[in-house]
Amino acid sequence: MARFSVLALLPLATAKAVMPRQTACNNSPDLCSKSYGEITHLGAHDSPFLRDASTDYSTFGNQYFNTTVQLDAGVRLVSGQVHKKDSAWHMCHSSCDYLDAGKLSTWLSEIKSWLDDNKNDVVTVLLVNSDDASASDLHSQFQAANLVDYAYTPTSQTSAPTSWPTLQELISNNTRLMTFVASLDASKNTVAPYLMDEFTYIWENPYDVTSPSNFSCNPDRPANLKNDLSSALSSNRLPFMNHFLYQSVLSLEYPNSSYVGTTNAPSGGTGNLGDAASKCKEAYSRQPAFILVDFFDKGPAIMTVDNLNGVTNAVGRTNTTSATQTSSASTYSNVFKGLVELVRSAQLGANPSMGEWIWAGGDWGSLLGGGIAL
């Protein structure tokens, strides 16, 4: 009677074990063959500006989780404001006196580390050039973060392409970082052509929205395309959908965290993301290329993006539902900090309005987490 050795079966078992799985690009195998400009990328508005213990739950914070957690959870566009502070370039919200998230190069290094560890993903960075940094200034920050080698360089700096590379092409070429700057004079950018002037390649809908019934699909920027949807669509620029809500008290605007469960939801309630995205898709005869949200984990916003992309098999994402998130409720340390910051801005030459002083001194904790009980 013939005997079969267990060892003889090992090659078959090993072969089965090491068979490569289908590659996922940006968390889905279905996206690999899609053009970068064809799909929808979920964006975290003001990515480095956090409303957590590290900022004393600052009402200027737009996100509950840091950039690394955002990327782990499926965010693929991160934005932030660049300001100059003491001869260095920092990530600051509106002013470095209000919320300073540290040096630009440090934030870029965080993104670089993530790209190092996630080799099948394409990430977009959008920098708001608040203090008019030159291409050379910004390039030096990318160099300091060792991020330049990952950067994609467009075929033209002065016009949007008719088509973009597929995700797989970007991944295979290891040019997995797309960088847009709002704004940057392309005619003066000879040192870093990978830094793309945002409004050469992208148009945006309105971003300053305080009522959930006021979200619009119409172009707002660049100025020459304002309310001209036909020209915007024929320009080959990618449609960028801002979908975050501010709340306004005494002329001051803060990210609206109380309504965000509806703002970012896939359906239900006035101004929900799913309905707004569907409306814009119908108006554009294509899906938005980017959707930018506050508090990305709420909704969850990624559900609408998956629906637009036809993704039902997402892999490799971290679920933030079980992640620790400290309450963003008002603390008196945060309240006092807000008053100190207002005084400091006045000392620096600002002229705060009466409303700002009333806001800082009043007991507004139940509304936005600000004010001191007198």
- In Å, what is the CA distance from 262 to each residue of 51, 219, 257, 274, 295? 19, 23, 10, 10, 12
Choose, from 41, 45, 83, 139, the residue flagged as catalytic.
Answer: 45
State the Cα–Cα distance between residues 128 and 202, nearest whole angstrom: 13
Instruction: Assess whether 139 carries a catalytic annotation.
Output: no
φ and ψ at residue 89, rounded to 5 degrees:
-95, 120
**Residue type for position 344:** R
Establish how many alpha carbons lie within 13 A of residue 196's alpha carbon, considering only the half-sphere containing its beta carbon: 25
Choose, from 41, 90, 93, 243, the residue flagged as catalytic.
Answer: 93
Strand-pairing partners, residue 89, are 84
The conformation of residue 317, written as its DSSP 8-state character, comes to P
**Residue type for position 336:** F
Closest CA to 131 of 187, 87, 168: 87
State the Cα–Cα distance between residues 330 and 99, nearest whole angstrom: 16
Look-up of token digits 């705060």: 352
Closest CA to 356 of 50, 61, 93, 98: 98
Quote the tokens at residue 80.
Answer: 């932030």
**Residue type for position 354:** M
Look-up of token digits 């977009």: 124
DSSP per-residue codes, 87-123 = TEEEEESSSTTT-EEEEHHHHHHHHHHHHHH-TT--E
Helix (H) or strand (E) holding 42, with range, is strand 41-44
Residue length, the chain? 374
State the Cα–Cα distance between residues 247 and 239, nearest whole angstrom: 25
Catalytic residue list: 45, 93
